[in-house]
Each structure stands twice: as C-alpha cells, then as structure tokens.
Structure 1
C-alpha cells in the first residue's frame, strides 16, 4: 500500500518516541506494557511480534495475541499526550507552507487515534498562537472544520482572529457572514467586539455600521464605550453626522461612569 513521505516520517517518529519513552519505566511495569515494532501496518493499528518482557528475561520471544488471535497495538500509544502535541507543533513549524503538506501531516498524526483528539489539537493551536504562526493556525482550524470537528462559536472566533492577524480581513468577514453573523441574537458580545475592531482597523466602515445596526435591531446594548466610540467614528468618516449624534446620545450612560462591567 502506498504511503506518503509525510505519513512514513510520522509513523517512524512516533514509533521511536514510544520506544525511547518506555525506558524510563521500572522493570516491574513491563508486564502491563507492550511496544510498537518498527514494522507496522498503515492504519489506526499496527502489529508487534515480540513480548518485551520475554526479551528482558532472555527468554524466546513470543507474540501476544488478542481475542481474535492477532496482536494489535496503536503506533505511539506509549507516548504521552504532551509529547504528541509537542511533536505535532514541531512538525507543523518545520513543514513546508502548503495546504497539502499540512493536511497530510495532520491526517497522519490523527490516524493512530481511536477518537478525534480535539483537546490535543486545541493545545497545539495555543502553542502555534504563542509562536505567532497565524497562517498555520488558520490551516489547522480549517483542516479540523473539514473533518466536522470543533464547529463551535469559539473555534470560528479563533479562526477569525487568526485571519485578521494574518492580514486577511476580507476572508475573516466572509467567515463571519457565513457562520456567525446570520443570528446575532445569541452571538457573544466578545465576538461582536472583535469583529467591530477588525472592521475599524481595516477601514471596512460600512460593514462596521451594518453590524452595529443589526445588533441594535435585536435590542442588544453595547457593554462598553469603546464599541460606541468606534461606531460613532465610523459614522463620522462616512459623513453620517446625524447617526453619530444619535448613537452618542443613545448610549451616553456608557460615557458618564455607568458602564456595565
């Protein structure tokens, strides 16, 4: 079966990590552990041919079999979650900048998991954000969404922020329109404030005032004066001075010390 270079590399590295890691366990724990061999089948499981305990005892090595008579072990099962996340982050930082390469590495990384490792992916995203690898963050989130995973308001907010930091405000606007802005009744103000800031910084003033008017249509009051000030400035730059005065008067309490926490 054909295996891509990325897949082969990840299989080899996860196997090596697993073999190195088990050396730190006491010999008393060997009976409860099994170890991946270098020769593995492509797919979520891989076969091993020896019992490590027998090898340590100097006895002829015997295969361990499951109920079906075939021994199955997942590649990298002896590697901790932290090590797997670090391995993924390092791989994504070193890999060439192409969608095919990134998606291939991610596919290979999750191939050995029984369930989609959403928590590990989230940790990897946070690590990439700390490195300010915004383009890679966008790629990982889009890959995750293509798998039908992490389709939450928080994920889309994280994607929009990464797109903004990657200087892709227009694309962030399209994501907002398709995935979030259709029902502003339940969108957290944190995300609305984020999008208003993106519009403001990128001189997308018409989109800014439209978003604010849509929020007002749901009778949603802005929680802080900075939002109102950006809206008022946008109206002024668009030449809509009456609208500017209307907004400042309507939310005057936010400027007089009665601002909501």
Structure 2
C-alpha cells in the first residue's frame, strides 16, 4: 500500500506506530519514526509526537522521550497535558529536576477544563506536579 503511494497519511502512521508498540517492536517503531521525521519534517501532528513519546514511556526509555520532545519543541508543536507529564517524568528519571519544573511551568497552564453536569467548566489547576 505504501509502495503505491496510497495510505501515507498521519492516521495510518499513527496506527502503524501503535501496532509496533503493541507488538513490542520498539526498534522498528523507532526506524519508522525517523523516516516520518525526515520525510514529513514540517507537517508532523501533535498526535504522532504524543504517540512516539507514549511508546518510549511504555518501554521506559527516558532519553528517547527527551529527544522526541526536543524535536517537538524545535518544530513548534505544543504538547498536550499527558505528553507534558510524560516528558516531565522522563526529565525526573534522568535526574534533571530543574528542566522537569521548566517543562511543567511552560506547558501546563494555571487553568484546566473539566466536564461537570454536561457542561464544560474552567477550574484552577492544583500545583501538585510531583504526584506522578
């Protein structure tokens, strides 16, 4: 399918990375990620970055998480809350607590949104970053 130029979408890439993760084939996921990164450099979605960080977090590879996060920042892609927490945990595991705090302060806002009685409500976030 890829050979004929069909199906080369970010959704297909995400599904393939998930399949590699479920099959415990991290090395193949890593080589596929490098292909995506070099081929589609400026158009990689936040979802793909999050998927790759999740794969590395699942397999306890904090140095790789930090590398993917560096690429993410370089391309100007803002991480979601779960990805931010995984990156902060990776910095903590590596022993760089000051960078952990910088990431949390930069990407986790003071407010978050929850759903309460069918409505979206804005609430102040508690500052308990160490509750991983």
Counterpart among 92, 99, 104 of residue 236 in structure 1: 92
1:20-35 equivalent positions in 2, closer than 5 A: none
Counterpart among 151, 163, 180 of residue 20 in structure 2: 163
Contact 2:84 2:108 in 1 (8 A): no
Contact 1:184 1:215 in 2 (8 A): no
Counterpart among 196, 218, 222 of residue 75 in structure 2: 218
The answer to whether structure 1 residue 256 and structure 2 residue 114 are counterparts is no
Contact 2:91 2:100 in 1 (8 A): yes
Q: How many residues align?
A: 113
- Map Cα deviations across residues 181-202 of structure 1 (whole Å, 9 max, x no partner): 2244321111211111101011
TM-score (norm 1): 0.40
Greater shift, 225-234 or 202-211, is seen at: 202-211
TM-score (norm 2): 0.75
Inter-CA distance 213–239: structure 2 relative to 1 (3 Å threshold): same
Report the Cα distance in structure 1 between the residues aligned to 2:9 and 2:75, rounded to whole angstroms.
Answer: 22
Highest CA radius of gyration, 1 or 2? 1
* Structure 1: unaligned runs, 5 residues or longer: 1-143
Contact 1:185 1:215 in 2 (8 A): no
- Map Cα deviations across residues 1-41 of structure 1 (whole Å, 9 max, x no partner): xxxxxxxxxxxxxxxxxxxxxxxxxxxxxxxxxxxxxxxxx
Comparing both structures, which one devotes a greater share of its residues to strand? 2
Contact 1:145 1:151 in 2 (8 A): yes
What is residue 152 of structure 1 aligned with on the other side? 9
CA drift of 1:232 comes to: 0.2
Which structure carries more relative contact order (alpha carbon 8 Å, separation 6+)? 2
CA drift of 1:162 comes to: 1.0
What is residue 35 of structure 1 aligned with on the other side? none
